[in-house]
Amino acid sequence: MQKALRTIIGVAVVGLVLHAADLATRDCRVAPYVYDDCMWVGLRTHLGLPASRFLRMAVLESVGIVLALVLYLTFRYVFPFRKRSEHS
């Protein structure tokens, strides 16, 4: 039962990370013939940030690092592929 629950939680976390990655790479229309990343547009309008290339780069870079870290931690702790041997 515990292994099935861990697998379901792991698959859900990986699905959420892949959805966030899709948002970070999808283009949304800002104006006619002008497109920008959906995640950046949403964060910029929600937080009231100015349209800056540096801020856009910093936000998307940190999103990528966080997504990679979440995937690593999920595979490391939720999906343990091998049993730990205890050395006494």
Q: Does residue 83 lie within any of the structural domains?
A: no
In a domain, 55, yes or no: yes
State how far the Cα of 7 lies from the Cα of 11, in Å rounded to an integer: 6
pTM: 0.71
Question: Who's near 75: CB < 8 A, 6+ residues apart?
Answer: 10
pLDDT single digits (tens) 40-85: 888 888 989 888 889 889 988 998 899 899 888 888 887 766 666 5
- If one counts the domains in the chain, the total is 1
Residue 2 CA to residue 10 CA, distance in Å, equals 12
Which residues constitute the domain of residue 22?
2-77
Contacting residues for 42 by C-beta, under 8 A, at least 6 apart: 23
Return the half-sphere exposure (C-beta side, CA atoms, 13 A cut-off) of residue 84: 7
